[in-house]
Amino acid sequence: MNCRLPLYSPAHPIALRHSIEMEPDTGMHDDFQGLSAKRLIGKVAVITGGARGIGAATAKLFAQNGAYVIIADIIDELGATLADLIGGRYIHCNVAEEADVESAVQLALTWKGRLDIMFNNAGIGGPGGSITNLDMDQVKPLLSVNLYGVLHGMKHAAQAMIEGKKGGSIICTSSSAALMGGLAGHSYTLSKEAIIGLMRSAACELGVHGIRVNCISPHGVPSEMLLSAFRMFLGDVRPEEVSKIVGERGSLLRGRGASTEDVAQAALFLASADAGFVTAHNLVLDGGYTSAISDMSFIYKREENEIKK
């Protein structure tokens, strides 16, 4: 017999469509996994910012690999629809509010009795402009989401994982902007670099509990955030156009742009037993962009021509 309880956000009617089932799921979740899904069988994951972009791609991939996924977001319609598709759960969650993040973690414990994976992925863009004219009233909301939101996720996921005594994986989305200056505004860069420091600090404490803590730093992924930035200068560009631009100008892999699926695959690796000895690591997905001052491939082409002579 199923025991159904309301979600933790009663103010959001869409969230109320989803209930907590104490029995294992059957049906859509199993169908979505497919026969070859094996890497996260039975694992329980919370993904913040999971309604679209990187979070949505990761939610789908985790479910395909056997995980039970909770999508935590503020975009209720998209999040609830995706949760239905993958046989997961949706909860309205503003990561800037610690109580919301705590509720998302609690949902995992009530639904499946455990939390194995926490993907702190939610983030927003911030103000640009000179450091001399920075509006602190605009900086604070960004830090509340990008930095404090990650801290909230780490705190409550770590508590649940320590109490569960089964280890776990905490993953945080940083950015190439944390590795190279000039790629984003000052406040966004601050938030993303701080995440990497926080990740390493938490990994030092939590390793004794079998909890791995890692970051992913994507570059040029055509998410809604990057699209908005591009549209400020280029008008109504499409995701594939942004990917093409990145592939031509923002990657050492000429013609190969980034995708949300690339980040999802990285998250799958870090969440799975394949990364069982990986912690305190920042996995950079940038096509080699941040490793070079400029593209020097013409040097190698010249050497190849000389060899042929």
So which residues are the catalytic ones? Answer: 188
Q: How many residues does the chain have?
A: 309
Measure the CA dihedral 258/42/48/187, to 10°.
-60
Please list the residues that pair with 68 across neighbouring strands.
44
Structure tokens at 191: 């938030």
| Residue among 166, 117, 125, 158 at smallest CA distance from 267 | 117
Positive/negative CA dihedral, 195, 188, 286, 41: positive
Q: Is 43 helix (H, G, I), strand (E, B) or coil?
A: coil
- Tell me 217's DSSP state: E
CA distances from 229 to 52, 170, 204, 223, 291 (A): 17, 28, 35, 10, 23
Amino acid at 252: L
Query: What is the helix, strand, coil percentage profile of the chain, to 5?
Result: 50, 10, 35
Q: Cα Rg for the chain, rounded, in angstroms?
A: 20
Q: Where are the beta strands (DSSP E) in the chain?
A: 44-48, 68-73, 89-92, 117-120, 168-173, 211-218, 282-285
